[in-house]
Amino acid sequence: MTIKPRARNLGLPFRGIPGPDNALTDIPGVLVGFTTVISGEGPLETGKGPVRTGVTAILPKGRQDRQKPVWAGQYNLNGNGEMTGTHWINEAGYFTSPICLTNTHSVGMVHHAVTGWMSRQYVSDFVDGHAWAMPVVAETYDGPANDINGRHITEQHALDAIESATSGLPAEGNVGGGAGMMTYEFKGGTGTSSRIVTIGENTWTVGTLVQSNFGARHQLSILGVPVGLEMPHEAPNTQANEPEQGSIIVVIGTDAPLLPNQLRRLAKRGALGIARTGSSGGHYSGDIILAFSVANEREANRRGLEEPPVLQSMTSVDDHYLDVIYEAAVQSVEEAIINAMVAAETVPLINPAGKSWTAIDHEQLKKIMAKYNRLED
């Protein structure tokens, strides 16, 4: 894998202490994988291409042979989008599946693939224990750059993303579900970041992965600098007098022991990280945030096979100390979005044809940041 420049490599002084890879995978046990599907050139032919899309897979607890609850909370800043499995997350406070991200019209196929993967991975739970699958699959819309109505994502694409999931620094930019996405009318896509937090004698990691596909050019703010106003050129939606459109999926993870209600509160803070980059959460943007914790591990109940204990216990950080974790989440979401932009590469559009999601120019960005004294040597 070619390691692309990241925001900090350009001298952008983000706050907070990042983890070793400054990534969601800094959380022990978390794996991330991708399938990127790119084919075809020229004008749009529905069902044939061009194709610029993919699948991103996040395995919060790696690969295990038993289902284990991943404690979670979810929040919609603006609900013009889809994340499956959230009814149960909001009801029970956990999920047991991989998290997959793709394009809007491929949610069904990816959901189908994850269901099959779970039934094979957790054979004892599904065959002997009558478990059922409620995969977490989320989407953003890549129609300007991808033949989205051709529905080119297959079951195997989703399975390959899951099977390729690994630790270490994930790829960013035009990869996985982010392959055809834009951010503030620059090329966007997949980005990640993390923060180390210390509370008393405890040290934990808060990490974020985004599929970033939102924002109008004039809104873009990086570390308080009005970059979008300084770089108004080649903004296809703005030039066509279109409102802000697209979406962003934010996945925040931590190994800090948090209860589901605390995780929902953490998910809400993800919206502040989005806002730091300039967005006001437009009507046509699906801004959906999921927060999870890998702490408090236990196996899922298996109906009819074994009786669970009458009493269960969970450890949690006292609410008094949550502000440190909130701040880490806001910082990591903000940086993950900018990392997606910095890593991205220009992609031609097919609808409208003749335009592009242009990669943000690193040298021009550095000059603008220096102009506002927001660049480190």
Hey, which residues are catalytic here? 247, 285, 287
Q: How far apart are the first and last CA of the chain?
A: 27
Give the span between the Cα atoms of 279 and 213, in whole angstroms: 11
Q: CA-to-CA distance for 192 and 338, rounded, in angstroms? A: 9
Q: Which helix (H) or strand (E) holds 326?
A: helix 322-343
The CB density around residue 319, as the number of other CB atoms within 10 Å, is 12
The widest CA-to-CA distance across the chain, in whole angstroms, is 67
CA-to-CA dists, residue 354 to 43, 163, 234, 341, angstroms: 9, 36, 11, 21
Q: CA-CA distance, 333 to 207, in Å (whole number)?
A: 8
CA–CA gap between residue 87 and residue 93 (Å, rounded) = 10
Distance between CA atoms of residues 22 and 342, nearest Å:
15
Please, are residues 205 and 26 in contact by the beta-carbon 8 Å criterion? yes
Q: Measuring CA to CA, how many Å separate 243 from each of 81, 122, 148, 216, 218?
A: 16, 45, 21, 7, 11
3-state helix, strand, coil in the chain (%, to 5): 30, 30, 40
Q: In 122-230, where does DSSP find H-type helix?
A: 123, 155-163, 227-230
- Nearest-CA neighbor of 100 among 214, 192, 177, 191? 177
